[in-house]
Amino acid sequence: MRDVDLTQGPIAGHFRTLAVPAAMGMLFSTLYNVVDVFFAGQISTDAQAGLAIGFQAFFIMMAVGFGIGAAMGALVGNARGKKDDPTTRRTAMQGLSFAVVTCGLLIVLGAFCGPLLIQLVSEPGAYRDAATGYFYWLLAALPGFLIAYAGNGILQAHGDSVTMQRAMMAAFVANIGLNPLFIYGIPGVIPGIGFNGIALSTIVSQTGVMLFVLRAVLRLRVIEDARPAELRPDLASYREIAVQMAPTSASFVVLFVSGFVVQYALSRFGGHAIAAYGIALRIEQILLLPVLGMTGALLPIAAQNFGAAQPDRVRAALWFCWRVGGLITLVAAPILWFGGGLFMRLFTDDPAVIAVGHSYLKIDSVLFGIYMMLFSINSLLQAFKRPIWTLWISIYRQGFGVAFFIWLLIGVLGMDVWGVFLGIGIAVGTGWLLSLWIAIRISREEIGGLRG
């Protein structure tokens, strides 16, 4: 079983070991969602709308899983860096236990609150009914997501991002077969269940991901001798995990709300503007995958070396991430600026949608390197076990900043759709300056500064 000591050996090699599989895993996760959208489109427009809205409501609960994964990456990584096997094992086991307990609570809460949230963002009719039914089915997939994220955080803290990559590749392939099987069935053998078959496919495939990840966690050297009694909830451990989890999860919720703010602002310019933004985001996300792999790899590398009291290696990891991220930006930015229109045409032939989407991608090309630094700073702060600062950055950038600057540019200065995209750009740029100031300040306290 892969268990890499990230406190020794070349930093570049560790990034290569962690970043490439992580980026590939995220690519297949993105493609997984594309498959769901495709099959929903084969059913009806209402099914596609229901899929989008139902998943938005479910995403809030998934945000808790992202937070648990980040918490495990930081806490287990720190203990692993200190070569403290008992603490590593205890933290990992408590993390899995925390995920199970949290999952149970969220299922109960989601069953009551999910439909209410769907009602807030939809009108009565077929697509709302589809969204509500889809959401209820997805609740059964929540253990697969949360426990898998917790397990992946533990594995990444040990230098293993290959397991999740393989799991997501298998889930993607399974989803291609399971979607039509559950939607349409096999005549005379298995009855199809229609639109909700997409949710059932997610339940089955994500449960498989969870089991595959758990198998890898249980085969880790420090976990092999663990006893079931170590899963018993410990309030002190739960509190430590919650403190690390909450800011990251809250940041994703802020991101969720920010998306609604942008969509509301774009709605005044017509449905084509909203469609263009949605397509452009998909293009942006695909090009950001290498950056997300790099900055995600920074967390376990920095966490282990911070735990091992090796500040020089923490600094070296950050600067290596920035240098490689800068090279990726030099490639991606011109593609977004000059080729954005071409990429938009892969998704639509509407000239108005293409023009608006290309406008956003031009702004995005300027922001690409800034996103890279923002993501890496978030990973660094997580590694320092100071995630609360990532929340404050998110509240400013994705909460206040986006809403205020969009309002200023289109509400006060009367700009067109460019005002929305420039407002996002100003929020991101000023948020980057804030995060850089915070990173410099916290680094001085923890490792003597970013340059030593």
Segment 230-265, tens digit of pLDDT? 889 999 999 999 988 888 888 877 877 777 778 778
Q: Pick the residue with more confidence: 379 or 226?
A: 379
Six token digits for residue 122: 């939809």
Task: Judge whether 168 lies within some domain.
Answer: yes
- pTM score of the predicted model: 0.81
> Span 395-416, mean pLDDT?
91
Task: Judge whether 238 lies within some domain.
Answer: no
Distance CA 141, CA 139 (A): 5
> Has residue 1 got a pLDDT over 60?
no
Evaluate whether 34 touches 118 at the Cβ level (below 8 Å): no
Task: Judge whether 101 lies within some domain.
Answer: yes
Weakest mean pLDDT among 180-189, 230-239, 397-406: 180-189
Task: Judge whether 240 lies within some domain.
Answer: no
Distance CA 213, CA 170 (A): 12
Give 143's Cβ-side CA count (13 Å radius): 11
Count the Cβ atoms, other than its own, within 10 Å of residue 418.
16
> Has residue 51 got a pLDDT over 80?
no
Give 135's Cβ-side CA count (13 Å radius): 33
Instruction: Name the residue range of residue 308's domain.
Output: 247-451
Six token digits for residue 162: 């290959």
> Has residue 444 got a pLDDT over 70?
yes
What is the model's pLDDT at position 45?
Answer: 66
> Has residue 378 got a pLDDT over 80?
yes
Six token digits for residue 271: 């449905």
What is the model's pLDDT at position 2?
Answer: 63
What is the model's pLDDT at position 121?
Answer: 60
- Domain co-membership, 213 together with 275: no
Q: For the chain, what is the domain count?
A: 2
What is the model's pLDDT at position 22?
Answer: 82
- Domain final residue, candidates 204, 233, 262: 233
What is the model's pLDDT at position 21?
Answer: 85
- Domain co-membership, 271 together with 412: yes
Evaluate whether 50 touches 131 at the Cβ level (below 8 Å): yes
Mean residue pLDDT across the chain: 87
Q: Pick the residue with more confidence: 329 or 51?
A: 329
pLDDT confidence bin for 190, thresholds 50/70/90: confident
What is the model's pLDDT at position 256?
Answer: 72
Six token digits for residue 274: 């909203």
Tell me which residue has tokens 């000239």: 351
Which among 257, 242, 296 has a CA at the least distance from the CA of 75? 242
What is the model's pLDDT at position 268?
Answer: 80
Torsion of CA 29, 32, 33, 34, to 10 degrees: 120
> Has residue 208 got a pLDDT over 90?
yes
- Domain final residue, candidates 170, 198, 233: 233
Which residues lie across from 185 on neighbouring strands? 191
- Domain co-membership, 259 together with 176: no
Q: Where are the alpha helices (DSSP H) in 226-310?
A: 235-267, 271-307
- Domain final residue, candidates 207, 233, 259: 233
pLDDT confidence bin for 116, thresholds 50/70/90: confident
Count the Cβ atoms, other than its own, within 10 Å of residue 198.
28
What is the model's pLDDT at position 251?
Answer: 81
Distance CA 388, CA 248 (A): 8
Weakest mean pLDDT among 77-81, 133-137, 188-192, 215-219: 188-192
Evaluate whether 104 touches 47 at the Cβ level (below 8 Å): no
What is the model's pLDDT at position 255?
Answer: 75
